[in-house]
Amino acid sequence: MAHTSIYWYRHNLRLRDLPSLERCIAESDQVLPVWIFEDRWEGDDELGFPVMDDLRYMHLRDSALGLQKRIHAMGSELLILRGDPVKILKTLSAQLGNCPVYSSLEVAYYERQQEIHLAESCTLTVVNDQSMYDEGDLPFDYWNVPRVFTDFRKKVEKYSKVRQEVAVVSAMPPVPDHDYVSWDYPAKTVSMDDRSAVSLAGDEQAAWKRVQHYFYDTQALSVYKKTRNGLIGSMYSSKLSQYLAVGSISAVSVYHEIKRYEQQHGSNESTYWLFFELLWREFFRWVARKHGAKIFQLTGIMDRYREYPGGRKELQRWIDAETGDAFVDANMRELAATGFMSNRGRQNVASYLVHRLRVPWTWGARYFESQLIDYDATSNWCNWMYQSGVGNDPRDRVFNTIRQADMYDKDGSYRELWS
């Protein structure tokens, strides 16, 4: 009898550099690739925000459909379903003769819980696709990850190696017979604001097109360190976050592409700095793995209780870009219109909400979760904790938004653009 497996796509919507899929294919004669639009992503959260607002939804949809097309072109199938992944996969596995399920190892709490529940009744194999370092390659156990980023960075740079990239999958085993029909993933017709710094295309082809453009066509990578605090347009930073978030490109691939670029065009502070920023992403992944649900709690990983006298009225002013601080308001308008905001903007609006309006930081993080097309549980919640003094930096990181606007938007063109 053929050895049948289910391959469960999660935040790894790609074919290149996917160790979990490579392993699944190597160990199976038949593979059913599945991606599930989770029911928890629908509807509103407890604050009344859509869990996933339209732009984020469309970006994810585009990424999944792009992958589906590529898999179909190989004569296989990507079954897109909707519901609770644990229930669906248990049923599907039972229908296919209790076949094993392969997937990507996730680090955020909820996704880890899914793995635990699924493993109660299926043979589940999860492999690290999304972190640059494998757990065994870290110079510390993940529950001993340093609390301070610099300590983490110095240790991994000295003692660990980013894993090798895995080749693109170019052939898939046959799909087993099954009774499921792909869910007709509803289209939405929201058009992107033409001032946007990012595009909604999220699939693997779009990701590599962006790498080609940012690295090779323009060589913007060679000046990244000088431009990265910019606010306007597509070129001041890599804009890879939206692809990393859905996994249409891996951080490992970006790292090795930086190395290839350096061989052709030379290395400098800027080429290193993109890797440095990827290390922030990596750091927060291990922080999330260590601290589980705490990264979503008001007291954060520090168990620090603080007063938040600000309420829904203040939150709404911030969301509606009616704080009266032109820099904060401009950034909030950009977020609502495009699902994106620069890193400089994110730091400023987060600081303003928490330290000026004194609104619970978790509400800001929830709003970002709803809006950001590059929403990533660990990067979002750990950055919010960090800005709020309950995370990996115990200092109160209060940004003077007026001074920040003077420094980073000297001529006011950003505030003008989003006025």
Ligand X SMILES: Cc1cc2nc3c(=O)[nH]c(=O)nc-3n(C[C@H](O)[C@H](O)[C@H](O)COP(=O)(O)OP(=O)(O)OC[C@H]3O[C@@H](n4cnc5c(N)ncnc54)[C@H](O)[C@@H]3O)c2cc1C
Provide the binding-site residues for ligand X, judged by CB under 6 A: 228, 237-241, 244-245, 274, 277-278, 280-281, 284, 342-343, 346-347, 350, 368, 372, 374-376, 379-380, 383-384, 387
Least distance from ligand X to the Cβ atom of residue 326, Å:
20
Contact 369, 237 (CB under 8 A): no
Least distance from ligand X to the Cβ atom of residue 238, Å:
3
Cα separation of the two ends of the chain = 65
> CA neighbours within 13 Å on the CB side: how many for 77?
16
Least distance from ligand X to the Cβ atom of residue 73, Å:
28
Least distance from ligand X to the Cβ atom of residue 23, Å:
25
Residue 124 or 330: which CB sits closer to ligand X? 330
d(CA 361, CA 368): 11
d(CA 38, CA 196): 28
Residue 206 or 240: which CB sits closer to ligand X? 240
Residue 31 or 385: which CB sits closer to ligand X? 385
Residue 99 or 108: which CB sits closer to ligand X? 108
Please name the amino acid found at residue 236. Answer: Y
Residue 149 or 180: which CB sits closer to ligand X? 149
Contact 261, 267 (CB under 8 A): no
Long-range pairs for 254-263: beta carbons < 8 A, 24 or more residues apart: 254/211, 254/278, 255/132, 255/162, 256/162, 256/165, 257/211, 257/215, 258/215, 258/221, 261/215, 261/216, 261/221
Least distance from ligand X to the Cβ atom of residue 416, Å:
21
DSSP string, 206-238: HHHHHHIIIIIIS-GGGGHHHHTT--SSSSSS-
Least distance from ligand X to the Cβ atom of residue 351, Å:
9
Residue 79 or 279: which CB sits closer to ligand X? 279
Contact 253, 105 (CB under 8 A): no
